[in-house]
Amino acid sequence: MTSIGIHDLELATAHHVVELDRLAEYAGVDPAKYRLGLGQDQMSFPAPDEDIITMGASAALPVIERNGIDGIRTLIFATESGVDQSKAAGVSVHRLLGLPPQVRVTEFKQACYSGTAALQAAIGIVSRFPGERVLVITSDVARYALDSPGEPTQGAGAVAMLVGENPALVEIERAAGIFTADVDDFWRPNDSTTAVVDGALSMSAYLDALTGSWDDLRAQGGPEIDQIDRMLYHQPFTKMAKKGQQRLAEHTGAPLSAALTREEQAAAPAGARDTGLFTGSIYNRRLGNSYTASLYAALAALLDHDTELAGRRIGMFSYGSGSVSEFLTGVVQPGYAEHGAASRVEAALDARVPLEVAEYRELHARVLPSTEDAQTPRVTRAPFRFAGVHGQARQYERTAG
């Protein structure tokens, strides 16, 4: 059977960064609560001329430059933070990337999960039309109310993936575990720019979905826990991956290490199996939550930093509140290390412009109404920018960047 999976991927983020130590100071909270309690150091924050479309297009551009557009007849844009109730964000990306008219474009929604639905749909399309390739873009701005418990878990990021036959990076295996449960743990009403969340319920719903989708993976003939070399989790904050790993270890009886930091790795009990929890958290710790992109940012971090992945099997747990989740597995391909994007991603993270808490709070509160024409200030250094609103339509343009 032909192998299908992720042939290439790229991560992009926003122009600004908020240091969580500064936010903790402002909020009168011990900084260790954010760094250790949540496992987060920073959060990306978009400039006024950035959004999911500019980040998504910026992630996809290098993928297109490296691979060309031959065979791309589908673009699926997965997001929680859509910018229009009707038009798919990917249609703007399609123009910004200069893709031909013969590309179907659509948007997938189910909180943080829809990137995985997009990946599975892409695999289905490639199975039916061998030789075609599908561009999957996951892009989100995670936004909670100011002064709410969710505030330090905000963030922004996009991961673009090219899905096709004989992938260079990760073959996605056939068996997948699925778990859906109607639960009001996190959602965002149409008239709200910030998510509504029941924090405690969201964590228990996540963990129940993890064991539920694991059980289904096994029922579908998926691998045993001992046959999975690395584990990646959706990371609303990186400590959630640790909680997931602990739950999976308890559920399966496998001695999986839940060490999330170098210090915890050094202190891990003898016999604990390291499945890359720390490595998979390297980017997310600095990005914050990127909803649909979060699991794939973890995959990017693992591929960029783990030098012993060739032929190894990765387990990936995708969770979208509401809730839909999926446990999938993939096998890393021999030449994966040539992708080596660590220096690019780290340079992009380092280049973000810090915001003082007062500046961040002012930007957070700013709302651009769709009813008035407006131009945004030129801030971003990304290749694309959101130029403003004209005739109630959002305008996007290429920058010199």
Q: Which residues participate in the annotated binding site for (3S)-3-hydroxy-3-methylglutaryl-CoA?
A: 30, 144, 243, 289
Q: Which is nearer to ligand CAA, 170 or 260 (CB)?
A: 260
Taking the complex as a whole, the smallest distance from the CB of residue 1 to ligand CAA amounts, in Å, to: 33
User: Contact between 143 and ligand CAA (CB under 6 A)?
Assistant: no
Q: Which is nearer to ligand CAA, 74 or 323 (CB)?
A: 323
Residue 51: both structure tokens together:
């959004």
User: Contact between 336 and ligand CAA (CB under 6 A)?
Assistant: no
User: Contact between 397 and ligand CAA (CB under 6 A)?
Assistant: no
User: Contact between 32 and ligand CAA (CB under 6 A)?
Assistant: yes
Task: Find the binder of ligand CAA among 214, 278, 283, 319 (CB under 6 A).
Answer: 319
Cβ 303 vs Cβ 169: under 8 Å: yes
**CA-CA distances (angstroms) from residue 282 to 124, 177, 299?**
31, 26, 10
Task: Find the binder of ligand CAA among 13, 44, 153, 245 (CB under 6 A).
Answer: 153
Task: Find the binder of ligand CAA among 81, 202, 279, 325 (CB under 6 A).
Answer: 202
User: Contact between 250 and ligand CAA (CB under 6 A)?
Assistant: no
Q: Which is nearer to ligand CAA, 184 or 215 (CB)?
A: 184
User: Contact between 56 and ligand CAA (CB under 6 A)?
Assistant: no
The phi and psi torsions of 365 (rounded to 5 degrees) equal: -80, -15
Q: Which residue is nearest to ligand CAA (CB)?
A: 37
User: Contact between 317 and ligand CAA (CB under 6 A)?
Assistant: no
Q: Is 326 an annotated catalytic residue?
A: no
Q: Which is nearer to ligand CAA, 197 or 228 (CB)?
A: 197
Q: Is 80 an annotated catalytic residue?
A: yes
Task: Find the binder of ligand CAA among 27, 36, 83, 363 (CB under 6 A).
Answer: 36
Could you write out the three-class secondary structure of the chain? CCCEEEEEEEEEECCEEEEHHHHHHHHCCCHHHHHHHHCCCEEEECCCCCCHHHHHHHHHHHHHHHHCCCCEEEEEEECCCCCCCCCCHHHHHHHHCCCCCCCEEEEECECECHHHHHHHHHHHHHHHCCCCEEEEEEEEEECCCCCCCCHHHCEEEEEEEEEEECCCCEEEEEEEEEEECCCCCEECCCCCCCCEECHHHHHHHHHHHHHHHHHHHHHCCCCCHHHCCEEEECCCCHHHHHHHHHHHHHHHCCCECCCCCHHHHHCCCCCCECCCHHHHCCCHHHHECCHHHHHHHHHHHHHHHCCCCCCCEEEEEEEECCCEEEEEEEEECCCHHHHCCHHHHHHHHHCCEECCHHHHHHHHHCCCCCCCCEECCCCCCCCEEEEEEECCEEEEEECCC
Catalytic residue among 7, 94, 234, 364: 234
Taking the complex as a whole, the smallest distance from the CB of residue 302 to ligand CAA amounts, in Å, to: 19
Catalytic residue among 10, 19, 112, 173: 112
User: Contact between 240 and ligand CAA (CB under 6 A)?
Assistant: yes
- Among the candidate windows 68-76, 156-164, 201-209, 255-263, which touches ligand CAA by CB under 6 A? 201-209
Taking the complex as a whole, the smallest distance from the CB of residue 141 to ligand CAA amounts, in Å, to: 12
- The binding site for ligand CAA (CB under 6 A) comprises 30, 32-33, 36-38, 112, 149-150, 153, 186, 197, 199, 202-203, 206, 234, 236-237, 240, 289, 291, 319, 321
Q: Which residues are catalytic?
A: 80, 112, 234
